[in-house]
Structure 1
Amino acid sequence: MCGGLLLGSGASALNVRVLVASAPQLTVRVAAPAPAPGGLSVPGAPAAAPLPAQAWTVGVTGAQLTLNGQTTGSATLYLPPSAGSVVDIAGKTYRGGVQLRAEGGAVQGINVVDLEDYLRGVVPAEMPASWPAAAVQAQAVIARTYVTARINPATPFDTCATDACQVYGGVAAEKPQSDAAVAATRAQVVAFGGKAASTFFSSDNGGFTASSAEVWGKDLPYLTAKADPFSAGGPRARWQLEVPLGRVQEAAGNAGVRVGALKSVTVTRVSESGRPLEITFVGATGSGKLTGASAGGFVRALGAPATRVTLAGLNPLVLSGSGSGHGVGLSQYGALGLANAGYSHLHVLGFYYPGTQLATLTGRAGAGDALMAVAALPVLPLEQVWAAAQLAARPGSVQ
């Protein structure tokens, strides 16, 4: 590890800054046997009392960080990444370096890591590395695209390590198969209009992709509703949920429905993808409706794994559904089905993000000239997809 902890901040081109920990106190360890001359030190400390090279306890006093109990006089510390460097932050090992920030009485641990090394800890955390190469390669490209669109030097960090962003497990998550998928797709991203596309994905769309407009009220031309015959083999391809009336009443109230004691809850309008666009509530004091994204939010509030559902009864309210997740963009089980049918990762991407292009990163991520278009992604005619799905479903096909 070259260098020590430095006052300041910053990340170089194609580095990603990932918030991996936040606590009143963090332990940071590095692999270097000793700090470089003039490196790790606490401002104002005697020159004869260097800090340990292997482990630092980082705390916060007021708006300043402390190192092993001594005030640094700064709100930030930065250990830059170098070739092959690793760092432990709060007990987990990550490639690259670390930036530490005092924020709201806590220490933020931000892993500063090369984009491709970052993906090595993301892809197997989001999709089984043992799946066919085409599926894992597609996941690598959309993960790279997702974070490329979020790199912003003006913010304290670019992304987080949980499913609120995309899951990042660091070195412990890495697998040879997913490493190979990251390497095989190096620098590849999905682009639209010269920018990184919004590559949303979910586990299983239940046989029909949802549009971004119906789920979030944001209409993107490449995130549309269409049949997906490959996304039908997941563990939640079909499910049923029974919800007691009391919980239904509570969820309706939380959504702003005020109709008194409920007498019926019915889906009165559905989207093209078969998801509720309007749910009507009849109660003792009147009736009310939830529409658009609010209708889907009510379904999720009942504990449903997805919103492609039908409703029946009232006490309990029976939800019969298919799939898992929001259903927008790539379906991971659909990607598995397409890969098993022999399609490449480019076909997978072209199917789930029609009208987009394959591009490569050429400059500083987040900059306007960072992408260079390579070619339009292939679009599969739906008839061809259905035929391939039927073939893949025959006895003896690879699953």
Structure 2
Amino acid sequence: MLRPVAFCLLCLLVSSPASALETMRIAMSEAGGEVQVSGPGLSSGADTEEATFQPLGTRQAIVRRRGKKLEVNGVLVAGSSVRFRSGEAAPGADASREKPLRAGGMEVRGDVVVRVYREGLQLINVIPLEEYLAAVLGSEMPVSFPPEALKAQAVAARTYALQKKLEAYGSSFYLGSSVLHQVYGGVNREDPRTLAAVEATRGEVLTYELAPIEAYFHASCGGRTESGLAALQRDLPYLQPAECPCGRLPASRWTATVSRAELQTALGGSPSGFRISGRTGTRRASRVSTSEGLSMDGPRFRQRLGYTKLKSLDFEVEETPHGYHFTGRGYGHGAGLCQWGAKALADGGWNYRDILSHYYPGTELQQLY
């Protein structure tokens, strides 16, 4: 059952104007000394919610860095950032939504900020939260998954985004657009099914003790999720091991062959006698070692070898004449919502509320707006 969010950390957001509450700032990419922003009815202004935007009279803006300042189409502008907006709405059913902008190789809704950053420029997408989520869903979960699984992912992604916004409140941006945060591919990742899942759960967030949770998720756990402490060094009561039906799916199984040279590079020394020397309660590798005294924790080893090569820490390894053969289960860190598990549960008749309760025990589903 949903209930309004009570007095808590979310009051910081609730006390903000509605437009600010539902707005995210997403770091799109970095560029050198020049970047192009294009869109219909293009206008520009200061990077504030109250800014007045002036039409540029062109569909394209060339932004160049000039020391600590910016130049737009050859004209120096005040400050070290400039914000662009489309001035035309999309036709038909999307008449209330402005046409997207293109910048840094992405097409996005909302505004695009170009700012002086390090030795070059940074692009930031300022976008309504619900529109952001529609593209996140299409980037993070197959749109062919059942509607209830997509709804569960929508709530998890919304909660994760708001928690990160609270954490970074007042910063130039709240989240990146890569796997280090939530994958965000812009307009091209939207789909009618992701839009429907976001709309069906509009404003719903997961809380624990009246604060939004750290709603981590991953592709596949391999049969049992991992604790937040073991996977992410986050000792949180709602990130605990849970049984998962994804272990029966072919998608949860993987193998990898790693050469001796690759393993040596990842370890920073000879791989002779390489073995798993410690495991978590869910049998994932917590530490690896060699016969020559090298030792490394599991998450760091996976990072150095490569996340696409070593898909999870739930693996066995054996030495072969050609290197080292890994046999594993799952894809990702294993904590929180398992996406393939959510699909299996939805296929079995579970609704999104039950799915979320299973993967985030002890949390409440609440209506923020």
Q: How would you bin the TM-score normalised by the shorter chain?
A: 0.7 to 0.9
What letter matches 1:304 in structure 2? L
2:280 matches 1:274: no
User: Pick from 109, 114, 118: which aligns with 1:95?
Assistant: 109
Residue 306 to residue 54, structure 1, CA distance change in 2 (3 Å): same
Post-superposition shift, 1:292? Answer: 5.7
2:15 corresponds to = none
1:5 corresponds to = none
1:86 corresponds to = 99
2:3 corresponds to = none
1:177 corresponds to = 193
User: Pick from 203, 221, 226: which aligns with 2:237?
Assistant: 221
Cα contact 2:41–2:59 (8 A) shared by 1:
yes
Cα contact 1:215–1:296 (8 A) shared by 2:
no
What letter matches 2:337 in structure 1? L
1:123 corresponds to = 137
Post-superposition shift, 1:289? Answer: 3.2
Cα contact 1:311–1:319 (8 A) shared by 2:
yes
2:256 corresponds to = 241
2:23 matches 1:15: yes
What letter matches 1:243 in structure 2? V
2:156 corresponds to = 142
State the distance in 1 between where 2:134 and 2:319 align: 47
Residue 216 to residue 153, structure 1, CA distance change in 2 (3 Å): closer
State the distance in 2 between where 1:209 and 1:163 align: 19
Post-superposition shift, 1:34? Answer: 7.9
Please list the CA deviations of residues 148-181 of structure 1 after superposition, one character each: whole Å capped at 9, or x if unmatched: 1122441001112222221222222211111100
Cα contact 1:211–1:223 (8 A) shared by 2:
yes
- What do you get for the CA RMSD once the two structures are aligned? 2.6
State the distance in 1 between where 2:34 and 2:203 align: 36
State the distance in 2 between where 1:59 and 1:107 align: 9
Structure 2: runs of 5+ lacking an equivalent: 1-18, 46-51, 88-95
Cα contact 2:263–2:305 (8 A) shared by 1:
no
User: Pick from 67, 70, 78: which aligns with 1:73?
Assistant: 78
What letter matches 1:217 in structure 2? Q
Post-superposition shift, 1:28? Answer: 1.8
State the secondary structure of the residue aligned to 1:178. helix
TM-score, normalising length: structure 1: 0.76
Cα contact 2:152–2:356 (8 A) shared by 1:
yes
Q: Identity over aligned residues, as a percent? A: 28
State the distance in 1 between where 2:272 and 2:171 align: 49
Cα contact 1:144–1:189 (8 A) shared by 2:
yes
1:26 corresponds to = 35
State the secondary structure of the residue aligned to 1:59. strand
What letter matches 2:341 in structure 1? G
Q: How many residues align?
A: 332
1:8 corresponds to = none
State the distance in 1 between where 2:112 and 2:85 align: 7
User: Pick from 218, 232, 239: which aligns with 1:202?
Assistant: 218
Please list the CA deviations of residues 105-161 of structure 1 after superposition, one character each: whole Å capped at 9, or x if unmatched: 323222211111111111111111221100000111111111111224410011122
Deviates more, 1:175-184 or 1:18-27: 18-27
Cα contact 1:217–1:293 (8 A) shared by 2:
no
Cα contact 1:63–1:105 (8 A) shared by 2:
no
User: Pick from 255, 267, 271: which aligns with 1:252?
Assistant: 267
Post-superposition shift, 1:189? Answer: 1.0
What letter matches 2:98 in structure 1? S
State the distance in 2 between where 1:334 and 1:34 align: 45
Post-superposition shift, 1:298? Answer: 6.2
State the distance in 2 between where 1:213 and 1:336 align: 25
Cα contact 2:226–2:242 (8 A) shared by 1:
yes
Deviates more, 1:343-352 or 1:304-313: 304-313
State the distance in 1 between where 2:310 and 2:289 align: 18
Post-superposition shift, 1:229? Answer: 2.6
What letter matches 1:185 in structure 2? T
User: Pick from 183, 191, 206: which aligns with 1:167?
Assistant: 183
TM-score, normalising length: structure 2: 0.82
State the secondary structure of the residue aligned to 1:109. strand
What letter matches 1:335 in structure 2? A
Deviates more, 1:336-345 or 1:241-250: 241-250
1:40 corresponds to = 54
1:307 corresponds to = 313
1:345 corresponds to = 352
Cα contact 1:231–1:333 (8 A) shared by 2:
no
Post-superposition shift, 1:98? Answer: 2.4
What letter matches 1:276 in structure 2? A
Cα contact 2:262–2:305 (8 A) shared by 1:
no
What letter matches 2:318 in structure 1? A
State the secondary structure of the residue aligned to 1:209. coil
Residue 252 to residue 22, structure 1, CA distance change in 2 (3 Å): closer
State the distance in 1 between where 2:79 and 2:100 align: 21
Post-superposition shift, 1:22? Answer: 2.4
Matches within 5 A, 1:309-388: 309-313=315-319, 315=321, 316-362=323-369
